[in-house]
Amino acid sequence: MTELLKRQESERKDLAAGVYEQWQPIGIKERELLAEYDNDYGNAPPEIQDQIRIAREDFFAEWGNEGRLTALMDSRHAMEREKVATKQAILDKIKQRGRKEGNDGGR
Tens of each residue's pLDDT in the chain, 107 residues:
889 999 999 999 999 999 999 999 999 999 999 999 999 999 999 999 999 999 999 999 999 988 999 999 999 999 999 999 999 999 999 999 888 877 765 55
The pLDDT value given to residue 87: 93
Whether 22 maps to a domain, the answer reads yes
The pLDDT value given to residue 80: 95
* Residues 6+ positions from 64 with CB-CB distance below 8 Å: 19, 70
Total domains present in the chain: 1
What is the pTM assigned to this prediction? 0.69
Measured between alpha carbons, how far is 59 from 26 in angstroms, rounded to an integer? 8
DSSP class of 67: S
Whether 97 maps to a domain, the answer reads no
**Residue 17, domain extent:** 2-75
Whether 93 maps to a domain, the answer reads no
Measured between alpha carbons, how far is 89 from 96 in angstroms, rounded to an integer? 11
Whether 17 maps to a domain, the answer reads yes
Buried b (16+ CB within 10 A) or exposed e, 25-52: eeeeebeebbeeeeeeeeebeeebbeeb
Whether 100 maps to a domain, the answer reads no
Whether 43 maps to a domain, the answer reads yes
